[in-house]
Each structure stands twice: as C-alpha cells, then as structure tokens.
Chains A and B, each alone.
Chain A
C-alpha cells in the first residue's frame, strides 16, 4: 500500500541554522505530496505542496521539491526561527474521483533554541 517515511525526531537546532527533514514515499500511482505543520496547541495546517514531478512547493521560507526518481520530498529551510518549533508531517494523496485520502508519515518534532 501507499506509505510515507520521514526521519524521526526530535530535531534540535539553534536559531538561524539550516533545517532538513527527509521524506520518502511509496505509492502505486503518481501522488501529490504535502507538508503539514502542527504548532504547539494548534491544529494541523498545510505548509506547502507539490502536485507533479520536479515541482517545488514553498511557503514561509520552507521549500520542498518533488523528486520522482528518488521518491522523495525533503523539507528545507535555510535559517530557522524559534517560531518554527513544531511537528512536521509529510503526506501524500492519490486523487480519485471520490476524493483524496491523505497518508501521513510519522511526524518530526523540531525544536529551535534561541
């Protein structure tokens, strides 16, 4: 079945450090890929997405590129802030006529220290 694997946390960084969270997937078709973020005390929200190979999603300084050849969608940010402390989830969906069920990775907790 479809699955998403992402690096385990927690990831602890200092402010202004470079962040990478690895995500790889297995899917029977051509999925759309997402990164969701869960800030402390808040619900999950979409961070960025990419719908086809070589697309780059970006938002709030975060970027991720859909790499079909390596089945990956790694999340990166060049200079993190304390406010980026959160749990990050990689996810995929295979659009179907009846809708799209998201399959999530296990989540990666990121802690940014001042």
Chain B
C-alpha cells in the first residue's frame, strides 16, 4: 500500500485478555518500529526490526509484550494478560535503510487500545 497500515484502529478489551495488533509497513521498507503513545505523554520506543537482524527489544516494558515480523514484512505486536496501564495508542513505523536512509520514519495512524 501507499502508507503504513495498522489494524485494528480501535480495540477495547477486558483486563487479563490477550490482544494482537497488526502492522503492514510500506513496501520495500526494511526497518519496522513499534512505539507506544500514552495519554498526555510522548512516544515510548518498544521494539525495532531490521531485515534479518535480531530485533532490538530494549523498549518492551514487560515479558507480557512480544512482537514478530514474518517474512520481513507484516508485524504483530502481542500483549498478553492485558492490564489497564497498557491502555495507549500503539504506533507502527517503517523506514528505508542503507544508502537511501534519510532518517525519516513513516508512521501509521495507530491502534488505540483500551483495557477495561
């Protein structure tokens, strides 16, 4: 597609349930990022994938959070046993790498997660 696509756009779940958020990056972008934007706060880095390299998971807040990127394209962020403090907008971004890398990240519109 033309831009980064995320689904669902909105998700309401009950505390303790598992959720999956999907990201489809821009075609040809080899790097993919997940960020979290909590109400009234900035963007918190979660995880980063680059090609076949091991992902940078340094921002994942707990072991309830995990992410996969299959085939170097689509990524899924999974939150297990959701807690109310997980409520936030989860943003996905992609970028080019290598000699064409300008540093710009292209963001999706986000998935708003509400944990009741």
Contact = CB atoms under 8 A, between A and B. Distances in A.
Nearest to A108: B42
Contacts, number: 61
Contact of B43 (A51, A93, A104): A104
Interface in B44-67: 45, 48, 50, 53, 56
B105 A107 contact: no
Contact of A99 (B43, B97, B104): B97
- Among A42, A98, A103, max chain B CB count under 10 A is at A98
Interface string A84-114: 0000010001010011111111110000000
Interface residues of B, number: 26
Contacts of A102: 33, 43, 45, 105
Contact of B45 (A45, A46, A89, A101): A101
A103 B33 CA distance: 12
Interface string B54-94: 00100000000000000000000000000000000001010
A99 B97 CA distance: 6
A73 interface: no
B7 to A, nearest CB: 14
Interface of A: 32, 34, 36, 42-46, 49, 51, 89, 93, 95, 98-107
Given A43-B107, A95-B101, A100-B101, 17 more contacts: A34-B103, A34-B104, A43-B3, A43-B109, A43-B110, A44-B91, A46-B104, A49-B104, A99-B97, A101-B56, A102-B33, A102-B43, A102-B105, A103-B45, A104-B45, A106-B41, A107-B43
9 contacts: A32-B103, A34-B104, A36-B107, A42-B109, A51-B103, A95-B103, A100-B31, A101-B33, A101-B45
